[in-house]
Amino acid sequence: MGQKKDLTGSEKSKIVRYLAEGCSSLKIAKLLKRDHRTIKRFIQNSQQGRKKRVEKPRRKITAHELRKVKRAAAKMPLATSLAIFQSCNITGVPKSTRCAILRDMAKVRKAERRPPLNKTHKLKRQGWAKKYLKTDFSKVLWTDEMRVSLDGPDGWARGWIGKGQRAPVPLRRQQGGGGVLVWAGIIKDELVGPFRVEDGVKLNSQSYCQFLEDTFFKQWYRKKSASFKKNMIFMQDNAPSHASKYSTAWLARKGIKEEKLMTWPPCSPDLNPIENLWSIIKCEIYKEGKQYTSLNSVWEAVVAAARNVDGEQIKTLTESMDGRLLSVLAKKGGYIGR
């Protein structure tokens, strides 16, 4: 019965159980076929418990340093407590003390995902809701792009921000940067796509229209009946490549014009049901902290996740539009929950 270095977690659990049953340390050693000294050492260490933590004297912060910290917190929104104190050349302060000091002058906030709405935005959102209140939304094709990266959705972590300050709005780029750009649409209970934008292609007006020609029109729209095309309403947001004169004229030549091309209010991702579809797909492809090693692998994950979204889920999203319009009017053009 040789002496081994460490007990496994399973062996430790068995020792606790055997002790509860009244077994002696010698008997436990025989049952586990371990050295008696190893068992005794574990029992003794367990009975001693953790040593009491010795509190170190905390560094005192002067009134002058407090004023410096307050100014730094105002100039450095969403910075960590360590970064704020380092910018003031204040060292030797433990994290618990830094946070306790900052709580009196600041608060922890996340960056705001949506830009604030001004009066014009709210009026346009209300006008849009009134215009389409009687629309049959089962005939609307809701479209949008989504960018997926190898490591998951980009975003800023929590950080300290002075009281009375607004958290800065992070730059959300629909075009440019790394990752895979995906386009898709939903109508009634059907998913259109997803289609992948070629790597390295920046979507300007010309490339956007060519992309729609190669994917949406050739692979889906041309297969539809004349009556379907006559009644379908095409929705897209106000991204520059979408709302330009070139793109509008090009869509008009395809028969998508006037009432067949939905007008869209500014700053309104909360009104587009396909945003919820993107959330479903991202939750699936990045679940349990999943990361990817290539753009092709993350694209394959997007396609697989999209296939798992059934028609009932899509129908629930498209049928939510009546409620969204009523919510916009009730909130006088303000943001609605999605």
Residue 164: inside a domain: no
* Residues 197 and 317 both lie in one domain: yes
* Residues 188 and 321 both lie in one domain: yes
Question: What pLDDT does residue 156 have?
Answer: 41
Domain of residue 87 covers 63-105
Query: Mean pLDDT over all residues of the chain?
Result: 87
* Residues 228 and 148 both lie in one domain: yes
* Mean pLDDT of all residues in 83-107: 89
Question: What pLDDT does residue 47 have?
Answer: 64
* Residues 201 and 266 both lie in one domain: yes
Residue 167: inside a domain: no
* Residues 233 and 204 both lie in one domain: yes
Question: What pLDDT does residue 64 have?
Answer: 92
Q: What is the DSSP letter of 143?
A: E
Question: What pLDDT does residue 177 have?
Answer: 42
Tens-place pLDDT, residues 233-290: 999 999 999 999 999 999 999 999 999 999 999 999 999 999 999 999 998 998 877 8
Round to whole Å and give the CA distance between 117 and 266: 9
Residue 337: inside a domain: no
* Residues 251 and 303 both lie in one domain: yes
* Residues 248 and 286 both lie in one domain: yes
Contact criterion met (CB below 8 Å) for 270 and 336? yes
Residue 113: inside a domain: no
Contact criterion met (CB below 8 Å) for 234 and 141? yes
* Residues 34 and 123 both lie in one domain: no
Round to whole Å and give the CA distance between 163 and 129: 35
Peptide bond into 240 cis (omega under 30): no
Round to whole Å and give the CA distance between 236 and 142: 7
Question: What pLDDT does residue 338 have?
Answer: 56
* Residues 38 and 124 both lie in one domain: no
Residue 169: inside a domain: no
Q: Is the confidence at residue 2, as pLDDT, over 70?
A: no
Residue-wise over 222-236: b if at least 16 C-beta within 10 A, else e? eeeeeeeeeebbbbb
**114 CB neighbour count, 10 Å cutoff:** 12
* Residues 27 and 81 both lie in one domain: no
Prediction pTM value? 0.65
* CATH number of the domain where residue 191 is located: 3.30.420.10
Of residues 311 and 167, more confidently modeled: 311
Residue 306: inside a domain: yes
Tens-place pLDDT, residues 122-149: 999 999 999 999 999 999 999 999 999 9
Residue 221: inside a domain: yes
Q: Is the confidence at residue 303, as pLDDT, over 50?
A: yes
If we measure between CA atoms, which residue out of 200, 210, 336, 195 comes closest to residue 276? 336
Confidence category of residue 158, pLDDT binned at 50, 70, 90: low
Residue 192: inside a domain: yes
Inter-CA distances, 265 with 109, 185, 238, 324, Å: 28, 18, 8, 14
Q: Is the confidence at residue 175, as pLDDT, over 60?
A: no
* Residues 235 and 281 both lie in one domain: yes
Q: Dump the DSSP string for 266-306.
A: SS-GGG-THHHHHHHHHHHHTGGG---SSHHHHHHHHHHHH
**170 CB neighbour count, 10 Å cutoff:** 14
Q: Is the confidence at residue 157, as pLDDT, over 60?
A: no
Question: What pLDDT does residue 178 have?
Answer: 61
Question: What pLDDT does residue 52 have?
Answer: 58
* Residues 322 and 213 both lie in one domain: yes
If we measure between CA atoms, which residue out of 136, 139, 110, 81 comes closest to residue 256? 139
Q: Is the dihedral angle over the CA atoms 273, 277, 280, 283 positive or is it negative? A: negative
Confidence category of residue 176, pLDDT binned at 50, 70, 90: very low
Question: What pLDDT does residue 302 have?
Answer: 96
Inter-CA distances, 292 with 156, 298, 300, Å: 20, 6, 10
Tens-place pLDDT, residues 15-63: 888 887 888 888 988 988 888 888 888 888 776 655 555 656 667 889 9
What is the domain count for the chain?
3
